[in-house]
Amino acid sequence: MVDPEAVRHVARLARLGLQADEEKELVADLLAILEQFAVLNAVDTQDVPSDSVQPATAPEVSADEPESFDAAAADLLALTRHERGGFYLVPRILRDPPQHPGAEPPGAPDAPSPEQHPLPTSDPLPSEDGAGKR
């Protein structure tokens, strides 16, 4: 169910850098906790909906009118010292390029390409999932 490899995977997903001893301890904790929680599996929930216990309510929406918050934009930027010329400064992005609508199009003038992965050109690629299964 949970082994050190799974915990390492989850820690990476959650961007938690763990020391080796800490990781060992957390693996043991998670294992113990999930063992206790496994009691849930015995419950028959075949016909139970998993939707919110809060009932759907009337639309809570607000009008499309610009409105200023009680915080000035400049005050927000002042919350970090990693700031220059109105921008937040973030670590140079070398890998793990964005995969979402906000991503800069590759080749945009202000976006030099992220580190390139060589594109696989031939089969087989032993590291690919499912490569050996076909």
Partner 1 sequence: MMSAATIAGRVRAGELDPVSVTRGALKRLEERDPNIHAYLDADADAALERAEQVAEDAARGDDPGRLAGVPISLKDNIAVKGRALTAGSRILQDYHAPYHSTVVRRLLAEGAVLLGRTNLDEFAMGSSTENSAYAATTNPWDERRVPGGSSGGSAAAVAAGIVPVALGSDTGGSIRQPAALCGVTGFKPTYGSVSRHGLVAFGSSLEQIGPLAAHAEDAALVYDVIAGHDPLDPTTTPAERPSAYKTSASVEGLRVAVPEELLDETVEPRVLERVAAAIDLLGDAGAITKVVPKGRLAHVRLAVPAYYLISACEASSNLARYDGMRFGPRLEQDDLLGTYQRTRGSLFGTEVKRRILLGTFALSAGHHDAWYRKALEVRRLIADEFRALLQEFDLIAGPTSPSGAFPLGEKEDEPWAMYQCDALTAPACLAGLPSISLPCGLAKKGPYKGFPVGLQLMGRAHEDHRVLAAARAFEALRGEPERCALYGNEVAS
Partner 2 sequence: MTATTYRPTIGLEVHVQLATRTKLFCRCEARFGAPPNTLVCPVCTGQPGTLPMLNAEALRLGVIGALVLGCRVDEQLHFDRKNYFYPDLPKGYQITQWERPLAQDGQIVLDRPEGELRVTIARAHLEEDAGKVIHPEGMDVSLLDLNRAGTPLLEIVTAPELHSADEAHDLLVELRRMLRYAGVSDCDMEKGGLRCDVNVSLSASDDEALGTRTEIKNLNSFRFVAAAIAAETARQRELIEAGGRVVQATLAYDPDTDSVRALRLKQDAHDYRYFPEPDLPPFPLAAEWVLELREGLPESPTARSARYGEQLKLPPAEVETLVADKALGDYFEATLAAVEQRELAVSAHGVAAWVVNGVRHLANERKTRVTELAVSPTRLAELLALVHTGSVSSQAGKRILDALEQDGERTAEELVAELGLQQMSDPEDLAQLVSDVLQREPELVARYCEGKSGVLNALLGRAMEASGGRANPNRVRSLLEHTLDATSAPQD
Which chain residues interact with partner 2 by CB under 8 A? 13, 15, 51-52, 54, 56-69, 71, 73, 76-77, 84-93, 96-108, 110-114, 116-125, 127-129
Closest distance to partner 2 from the beta carbon of 37 (Å): 17
Q: Residue 12 has which token pair?
A: 């990476």
Q: Which does 26 bind (CB under 5 to 8 A by kind): partner 1, partner 2, none?
A: partner 1
Q: Give the range of 18-26, 101-109, 121-129 binding partner 1 by CB under 8 A.
A: 18-26
Closest distance to partner 1 from the beta carbon of 134 (Å): 22
Q: Give the range of 57-65, 103-111, 121-129 binding partner 1 by CB under 8 A.
A: 57-65
Q: Which does 121 bind (CB under 5 to 8 A by kind): partner 1, partner 2, none?
A: partner 2
Residue 7 burial (CB count, 10 A): 20
Q: Give the range of 7-15, 99-107, 122-130 binding partner 1 by CB under 8 A.
A: 7-15
CA distance readout (Å), 119 to 93, 95, 123: 20, 15, 12
Residue 6 burial (CB count, 10 A): 13
Cis peptide before 91 (omega within 30 of 0): no
Residue 105 · residue 97 · CB < 8 Å: no
Q: Which does 30 bind (CB under 5 to 8 A by kind): partner 2, partner 1, none?
A: partner 1
Q: What amino acid occupies position 130? A: G
- CA triple 12-16-17, angle to 5 deg: 95
